Structures are given as structure tokens and as C-alpha cells.
Amino acid sequence: MAIPKICGIETEYGISVRGGSDFNPILTSSLLINAYAKPAFKRVRWDYEEESPLRDARGFEREQTETVVEDDSGLVNIILPNGSRYYVDHAHPEYSSPECSNPRDAVVWDKAGERILEDSIIAAAPLLREGERVFIYKNNSDGKGNSYGTHENYLVDRETPFSDLVKHLTPFFVTRQVFTGAGKLGAENGADEVDYQISQRADFFEVEVGLETTFKRPIINTRDEPHADPERYRRLHVIVGDANMAELPTFLKIGATSLLLRMIEDEFITDDFSLAQPVRSMRTVSHDITCKETIELADGRSIGAVDLQWEYLKLAKKYAQDNETDAGSAEVLERWEGVLEGLESDPRSLSAQLDWVAKLSLLEAYRERDGLEWDHAKLKLIDLQYHDVQRAKGLYWKLVASGKIERLVSDDDIAFAVDHPPEDTRAYFRGECLRRFSDHIVAASWDALIFDSGDEPLRKVPTMEPTRGTKAHVQGLLDASPDVSSLMANLSA
């Protein structure tokens, strides 16, 4: 049965240091986060107890062998007062947004992450060595065979068979690239050579379904770590998306996927759009900037990516007429339709809306003005610097400044989201407790907070229900708790 699509986006940011001699990405990432975080928040430990990254949704748990598992290795890992997690993951800084109840909030708290990263660069500057500069990129490819992810997370009804998710999401993920792609020069990972393609991620996907995230990447990831009541909930972990600078792609990415998930939960879709070769089709779609090529369905039909997206949109519109949806779905449907119309008539007409088209227009303008070949270093620099999070340097921000990219949310909204959690999910409780009681919080995670009131044993307060702990639920209680002891008493009452 369809349930609220509580969601969040985790972004692995690319990091580079210039002017230094022995760049260590783990150390520099740690430096950034430590420089940003107020001392009070740094004392709060991340609580790993409920993590189970090797549990597979297909019903087994894998032995820890070669897979690198997140663990309490002492790497910097903090919660911020906006309810997010900001930490060093492998060799880069990562920002996991707080839980949001709707696509618009998902955009706002995702963009807040960029501000936090930029503020971290500023805070860390005095701590760098002479002549050193740090660069942070919100993208997914270094152009040298490595890829890093922008993962979406959605709350899904546990009752929904995982096979239904695989069946309906696969063709959707393969084709939604036409509006989620952030654009990329060249090919990677053995894929066919191309001057420019729609998605930064497509070439890195090698299997249809699987647990891996760092190699043999699957279109559908089976990680089963709900961070919530495991009897009721699944957290769908989506790793195929691009990191978006433009706001509309993120809005549609979250909004359209959320609608599809509700339809799947409600068994609303009777069509079967299963693809004959999903992995190959993912590359076909990404490598075709005309958006006209067709891919093959398992039943032998051929269809273009945009046409398949039209099928999903038609279903979503019908569904939304008679069924509950998340806030903003009317806007999602309207914008989704507008984008598909644009892609159908001329993808280039969407240079103010979609990252891959905006970037392509910029690259072509430089090619023309300076007579550059597609593999010229300057174009590669543009491909990279488009994603620089610093607003004075990032090329996306230059496009915004000259009115060439459409915004969806305001800088005021984003500034608010840097310091405040969403008000309608458990992120509110987490963020507010951190703001009010950071000195007395020993550890925190997505589904619990551990308090130390001083003269009692440590108290673990579970937050297993993502829809509870909202402002409506707990503000009164928090306002009536001047200290942790009274909070504990009030929670037990």
C-alpha cells in the first residue's frame, strides 16, 4: 500500500587540492568537516549499531569479504543541526540530507549541502598550507575511470515485493536520464566512444540488480538497511542518479520517482515495460543527445526513452486523479510534461532547465569561439568546473547569474535549510535536540539519539518512525524541556 515518500539525497563530493605536494583526500576531507563543525557538534558520535550494509533485499546477508564496509573507523562523522549527516566516506566528503517529505524540500536540503561544502572551504582556508587551494565538485566522474555517487533514498512499504520494484523501476531509471543527466564529455569503463553524453553515471553500470556500489554497479541496488522499523519499512537506495546543479532535474528526479513508487506500492501498473537489455539500454540512452534512438523491450517492441517516459507520466497523471500523493505532485506532473514536450520537439530548447543541455550549450559555444576539438583540455575543464560548488567560480552559477538557468527555490529557503531541519519528518526531532542539547548527546544516527543527562545512565531514544518527531509532534514537548532530564521525563510520560 502506498505510504508517504519520505526521502533524502546523499551526495559524494569530488575533492581536489591544488598547490600542495602530497594531497591526502581523507585528511583534507576531514579538515573541511572539522573546520566547519562547531565544537559542540563534533563531540556527538555517529551510532553505527543499526547499520547493515550487507543485508540484501532479496533475503540474505552477505559475509563481509572484499566489500569495504562502513564502520566506526574513526573517520570524521557528524550530525548537523539541520538533521543531516556530514562525514568522510572513503576518500571524499559526503553530505546526506535530512529526511524530507516532498520533492521541493528535497531540492532545498540538497542545495543546502552545497552551501555547507562551500562554507567548509572558507572555514578551512586558514588551515591549509601556503599556496594550497581546495576544490569541491558536485559531480560523479573524474574523467579517469572513477565514479562516485549521488544516491536517492525513498521510504517504501515493506509489503511491496522487491521484484515489483525491479520490474517497474528499471525501465524508468534507464529512461529518466533524459532529464536527470548532468552531461559528460567522453565515455568510461569500456563503453563505446562518444564526444558527449547525457549522464555522468551511465557507463559505470554493469548489472541489473545487485548489492555492490563501488564496482559491478547495479541499476537496482538491493541494500536493505531501512534505518527504521524493519517490519513496516524498506529504504529504497537508488544509486543511478546524476549529481544535479540545476534545481528542476532534482525536483523531477525525486518527484517522478516518488509517484512511480506509490503506483508500484498500490499495484496500479499493469503494463510491463521490461527492457530486453537494461544495461546496454542505459548506455544507449545516455549516448544519444538527440533523444530519438529507440531501445528494445523484452516483448520485442521498440520505444524511445522520451516515449517510455510519456507512458510513465500518463500513468502518474491517472493515478494522481484518484489517489493521495505527496505535496507538490501537481507541480511535478506539470513540469515533467513540459520537459518531455521540450525533449520531444528539441532537447536544446531546455538549456535553461536541464544540466546536460546547459553544459552542452556552453561547450559548443567554446568550441565555436575557440575552434576546439571535443577532447580539448579546456572543454574537460569546463565539464568539471560546471560543478564547482563555489558560487564565484562554478560555471553553473555563472549561468544562473546571467539568467540562463531557471531556479526553482530561493536562496533564502536554502539558507534556512543550512541551519534548520525539515519540520515534517523525524529530522526535526534530531536537529532540534542537537541544537538545544548538543552537550548532552553522546551519539546519534538516523534512527536513534543517545542522551547523557549527567547523573543517570545513558538513555537511547529510538526514532524508528520517519514520519514522527515532526514539529507538530514534538515542539511543545521540547519547549517544555529546559534540560535533558526533563526531556527524558516528558518523553516517558
Residue 175 CB, shortest distance to another protein, in Å, is 23
**Residue 493 touches another protein, criterion: CB under 8 A:** no
Specify the residue, 129 or 144, whose C-beta has the smaller distance to another protein: 144
Candidate list 402, 455, 492, 493; residue touching another protein; CB under 8 A: 402
Alpha carbon distance 152, 137 (integer Å): 18
Nearer to another protein, 6 or 239 (CB): 239
Judged by beta carbon, residue 224 or residue 432, the one nearer another protein is: 224
- Catalytic one of 22, 56, 89, 266: 89
433 SS3 class = helix
Q: Please, what is the minimum distance in Å from the beta carbon of residue 202 to another protein?
A: 15
Residues, the chain: 493
Could you give the string, one character per residue 351-390, with x where binding to another protein holds by CB under 8 A and - elsewhere? -----------x--xx--x------xxx-xxx-xx-----
Q: For residues 109 and 137, which CB has a smaller minimum distance to another protein in the complex?
A: 137
Return the closest-CA partner of residue 116 out of 84, 148, 89.
84
Element (DSSP H or E) covering residue 14: strand 14-18
Among 91, 320, 327, 461, binds another protein (CB under 8 A): 91
Question: SS3 of 207, please?
Answer: strand
Distance of CA 374 to the CA centre of its chain: 29
**Residue with Cβ nearer another protein (45 or 380):** 380
What type of residue is 102? N
- Residue 145: exposure state from Cβ atoms within 10 A (0-12, 13-18, ≥19): exposed
Encode 28-53: b = buried (16+ Cβ within 10 Å), e = exposed. bbbbbbbbbbeeebeebbbbeebbeb
Q: How many residues bind another protein (CB under 8 A)?
A: 44
- Catalytic site residue 388? no
Shortest gap between Cβ of 406 and another protein (angstroms)?
16
- DSSP-derived 3-state class of residue 317: helix
Tell me how far apart the alpha carbons of residues 34 and 12 are, in angstroms, rounded to a whole number: 17
Residue 89 within binding range of another protein, rule CB under 8 A: yes
Q: Does 25 bind another protein (CB under 8 A)?
A: yes
Given 18, 38, 216, 292, the residue binding another protein (CB under 8 A): 18
Site for another protein in 111-170 (CB under 8 A): 135, 137, 140, 142-144, 146-149, 151
Residue 12 binding another protein, by CB under 8 A? yes
In the range 161-220, which residues lie near another protein by CB under 8 A?
213-214
Inter-residue long-range contacts of 378-383, CB under 8 Å, 24+ positions, other chains counted: 379/185, 380/143, 380/185, 383/143, 383/183, 383/184, 383/185, 383/359
18 or 318: CB nearest another protein: 18
Contact between 90 and another protein (CB under 8 A)? Answer: yes
Residue pair 237/221 in contact by the 8 Å Cβ criterion: yes
CA atoms within 13 A on the CB side of 347: 22
Active centre residues (catalytic): 89
Footprint of another protein on this chain (CB under 8 A)?
12, 14-16, 18, 25, 89-92, 135, 137, 140, 142-144, 146-149, 151, 213-214, 239, 362, 365-366, 369, 376-378, 380-382, 384-385, 392-393, 395, 398-399, 401-402, 404
